[in-house]
Amino acid sequence: MRVLIVGAGIAGLSLAHFLKERGISYDLIDQTPEWRTIGYNMLVWPNGIRLLPKTVQRNVTNKGARITGNLILAEDGSVIQRFSFSSLIKRHGSAYQVLRDDLHQALRRGIKVRLNTVVRTLQQAGIRVHVQFSDKKKKSYDFVVGADGVDSSVRSHVTKQKPRFSGITGWLFWYPKKTRPHEILTQWGSGCFFGLYPHCKGARSAAYLAFATKRHLRTSNAHFVRRFAGMGGMIPEIIRSLPKKVYHHDHQFVRLRSWHKGSVVLIGDAAHCMPPPMGMGASLAIEDAFVLASELKKGGHALDRFEQKRRPRVEQVQKEARFIERLLAWPRLLYPVRKFMLKHLYQYLFMHVVDTILSERP
Ligand SMILES: Cc1cc2nc3c(=O)[nH]c(=O)nc-3n(C[C@H](O)[C@H](O)[C@H](O)COP(=O)(O)OP(=O)(O)OC[C@H]3O[C@@H](n4cnc5c(N)ncnc54)[C@H](O)[C@@H]3O)c2cc1C
């Protein structure tokens, strides 16, 4: 059996490891001409960590920041709620904030990737798929896996459906001062949100400013300086210390009627990109890769079984992530209700959903 993996992100690289472990041959391509330092830091939950090869696991736990709780602030910076992840940690192990680049580098070790390569044509012929690449090479595969992220090009071979803008846009950047090393801080304002995510040993944090908007925004940050102007707590200092280099991102989500067609299948963000509030995208991408590799090894209708197994779990997290994200856009009139929810219900909802996900083995 030979598998083509398109996209060497978290999903694609994880799949390469899991196929290798099972003795299944693969080719892995990525559009990038060379590896660059990518992204900021991200939360990885134990459901993702425990599936990774031991060397990658060690990298996450040695280099990452162990996350033990969440501090929730109101618009003026006052504390609404603070809760600990201790019960989750006791039952399932710790979640870590890791540098995306550290995780990616660790996953790349021992995996051959053909860079600067994309699929030009892809044609199902019987049970095989004929592929022509951008370097004019041609090859046939038993399966083609689209692990090419939210803007997947492989997706067009499975469905006409496209990603949708969720109504939230955000800016991510480094806040260079020492902060709480083990706690995620979130602050909820008027249609806007601030998050501070620790980096290893608390030397710096990734700061995230996001707000609700009706359209995609691809331009200036003057907008958000204005949107966050009235907020208290750390916000004035965060805005003052805004670096030149920020990463702008419109939240998107992908919900498809099917994740596979013929011998072509989608995994990770290509199949089910979700907004970031649960911090589960990467962990679910790793799970997808694990389940797909296991099903391919078993043979038969592997892609049907893969989708049947994965869909309910992924859609549950997607639903919760969308719910939390929408809280951000609630009208001011409903703020007392939102404050009540953040104080009394959010902790329960969040912990319950994460506990359910971590309790089930994919
Ligand atoms: C602001 C933000 C914060 C986030 N925070 C978290 C978090 O804390 N925790 C978490 O779990 N998740 C988080 N996520 C989500 C997480 O980043 C994704 O779920 C995860 O990266 C999905 O992995 P992937 O491999 O499916 O896609 P990607 O990581 O996007 O990888 C796709 C790969 O495909 C390649 N590619 C693209 N197109 C082609 C093509 N046509 N041909 C060949 N190669 C191609 C790309 O170069 C890339 O290497 C966050 C996302 C954002 C935007």
DSSP letters spanning 71-139: EEE-TTS-EEEEEE-HHHHHHH--EEEEEHHHHHHHHHTT---B-S--EEEEEEETTEEEEEETTS-EE
Q: Is 259 exposed, middle or buried (0-12, 13-18, 19+ CB in 10 A)?
A: buried
Say whether pLDDT at 116 is over 80. Answer: yes
pLDDT of residue 219: 58
What does the pLDDT average to over 89-103?
95
Q: What is the number of other CB atoms lying within 10 angstroms of the CB of residue 360?
A: 11
pLDDT of residue 243: 85
Q: Does 277 sit in the ligand 1 pocket, CB within 6 Å?
A: no
What does the pLDDT average to over 267-273?
98
Residue 4: phi, psi to the nearest 5? -100, 125
> What is the Å distance from ligand 1's center to 148 Cα?
8
What does the pLDDT average to over 232-254?
89
Tokens standing for residue 117:
């390569």
- Among 142-146, 177-181, 336-340, the range with the most confident prediction by mean pLDDT is 142-146
Confidence grade of residue 30 (pLDDT, cut at 50, 70, 90): very high
> What is the Å distance from ligand 1's center to 231 Cα?
31
pLDDT of residue 269: 98
Q: Does 4 sit in the ligand 1 pocket, CB within 6 Å?
A: no
Confidence grade of residue 235 (pLDDT, cut at 50, 70, 90): very high
Say whether pLDDT at 362 is over 90. Answer: no
Q: Does 99 sit in the ligand 1 pocket, CB within 6 Å?
A: no
Say whether pLDDT at 122 is over 80. Answer: yes
What does the pLDDT average to over 1-20?
98
Give the integer Cα–Cα distance in Å for 166 and 172. 17
What percentage of the chain has pLDDT greater than the value 70? 98
What does the pLDDT average to over 18-43?
94
Pocket test for ligand 1, best of 28, 29, 148, 185 (most atoms within 8 A of CB): 148
Pairing type for strands 65-67 and 95-99 reads antiparallel
> Looking at the domain 2-67+97-163+253-327, which fold is it?
FAD/NAD(P)-binding domain (3.50.50)
Say whether pLDDT at 118 is over 80. Answer: yes
pLDDT of residue 279: 92
> What is the Å distance from ligand 1's center to 98 Cα?
14
Q: Measured from the CA of 269, which atom of ligand 1 is nearest? A: 26
Q: Measured from the CA of 251, which atom of ligand 1 is nearest? A: 53
> What is the Å distance from ligand 1's center to 273 Cα?
9
Which has more confidence, 327 or 4? 4
Confidence grade of residue 180 (pLDDT, cut at 50, 70, 90): confident
**Best CA proximity match to 342, nearest among 358, 314, 323, 356:** 323
Q: Does 7 sit in the ligand 1 pocket, CB within 6 Å?
A: yes
Question: How open is the CA angle 137-142-145, to the nearest 5 degrees?
Answer: 80
Confidence grade of residue 18 (pLDDT, cut at 50, 70, 90): very high
Say whether pLDDT at 297 is over 90. Answer: yes
Q: What is the reported pTM?
A: 0.96
Pairing type for strands 264-266 and 205-212 reads unpaired
pLDDT single digits (tens) 136-163 = 999 999 999 999 999 999 999 999 999 9
Give the integer Cα–Cα distance in Å for 204 and 122. 45
What does the pLDDT average to over 237-249?
86
Say whether pLDDT at 202 is over 70. Answer: no
> What is the Å distance from ligand 1's center to 149 Cα?
5
> What is the Å distance from ligand 1's center to 340 Cα?
34
Mean pLDDT value across the chain: 93
